Structure 1
Amino acid sequence: MTQPEGPTTGHPLTTWGADHLEHTVTIRTDAHDARHMRTSAGHVSVVDAHRIAAARLARSNALDACAVCLVVNDTAGVVLPAQVHILSTTDPTSSLLASHDAGSPDWARVLVASPLRGTWAAHEAQLMATEIAERAARASRLRISGSPSPPPGLSLSTRHASELHDIAALTEAAGLPLLSSPAQRELTHTPLLHLCDLPDTTQATASPQGILIHAGTVLEDLEPNGTHTVEIGYRRIALLQMGVLQGTGRELEFVRDHLFEDPSSAAALIRGRPTNGWASWLDCAGRALRELI
């Protein structure tokens, strides 16, 4: 697959494999505002685009190798969109546009993931796409999940399972909320927020760009042996290295304001476990963030 042209943005991000850290992340933005990321395992593209442009993007990225492509429609700004479309990139008769019903929105968020080396067989790509969609539904938010647990009777090779995990880690580390609403969110004001049950140690401000965590917000302990404990731990390490967090051991806090695109990613990082930020961030009247947008 040809690497897309465009300027490289200087984001010194860290992604991780099964056993080691790798400083190998490059984020590129092309002329169509699609964001492209690479690791040693694979290539990920994320774009908010008109659905016709999205179809072209998906097809162009899938020419040389079978890829996983998810198209997400979300007009209400809710956590879990009504539809997740999986494009079978190996079927020449499949049409991304045909998979949209007449009432679907004109804009969509598209994720295309494909291997950097070698190829995925059609059944492997379809299995990955299905697993991603199922895990997203179970998590009540659209995101790439961790190591796959395929349905009974189906399995991924060790190499492909590792690739999917690395792509998941990269996407999460880059702070790209794959399935949050691509539509511009409108706020009539920017209320002060706190996490449920943590009014004295957390403070944030909502904005159309995401959620701004205020300096002085204190982090909770990581969930022992949690599904995403390792990923959240590495994200905390990255913020420590950036000087956003300070502290040692279990005593960590924000020492400067920091913007997150995804309220759930911010909430999970603070709580130390997966958290639905749309329901957990509250204003002083106890209204959840999803009610304020």
Structure 2
Amino acid sequence: MNAAKRPQTIQIFLPTGDPNGIRQAEITTRSVRVFDVPRSELKLFTETPESTQPGLYFLLSDENGDGEPEVYIGESDSLRDRLKNHDSKRTWDRVVAAVSTSNSWTKVHVQYMERQAISLAKAAGARQLGNSAAGYSSHVPAPLVADCEEYLETIRVLVSTLGFNFLEAPASQESTTDGQRVQISADGVSATGVYTSAGLTVFAGSTVARVSNIASHATVAARQGRLVEAGVLADQGNGLVFTQDHAFATPSGAASIVLGRNSNGWVEWRTTSGRSLTDTVRSGLD
């Protein structure tokens, strides 16, 4: 069974007592610890003993303020040294870092996990990874691979628990039924998707209307442009098309991209029987 789909106990610790400061997460039966560190708290993190260990890290930047941060994935045999270097050379808002609670990871462990994490993030449609390569590649013994895959699954669960979805592959059209799907057929576009706990995933092949009034919908136009740059959207005739399944944090965020204007996704997304997403979600609470 997928670890994310069974009951688990996750402990989140606030070292400073500030819920907006450093957060530390771990599954009580695992040997992985994940830190969520705002850039303003980097010095405090680098004073911890964990920061001197080998680790996997994710630099996040949400300069556009749209809730879909850009992510850079890296590894180091000393997180402290690497992050101090990044502090002056790269634009980012926070770092999510993973270490071993037993300090048992080696350079080979973190290099293997970096490569796999980059692959996961690309499959999840993470925006502008900034990674120039797919990560370090070398022969890794099968027992170590098995350990790393378990560590990485734990990291994925903890990162998601902390509120970041850049390692979460979006739901696929093949894994959903007609009854679960929602659609938009308006303004000359045809889009299908599914709403889950991870947000609203728009399926590959869905068509998109370009923003026609940029003055009124500049934010939507900018987001469409970034998705084109990332390869998630491609030109198709007078409009655009999704080249891959892509998850949005909210139904309205997805609907706005599809329709090329600010939109209420709870109303725009409808089942095949014509019921709005608001109606179907509310009916489940009645």
- With normalisation by structure 2, the TM-score equals 0.49
Bigger proportion of residues as helix: 2
Higher RCO (CA-CA < 8 Å; seq separation 6+): 1
- With normalisation by structure 1, the TM-score equals 0.48
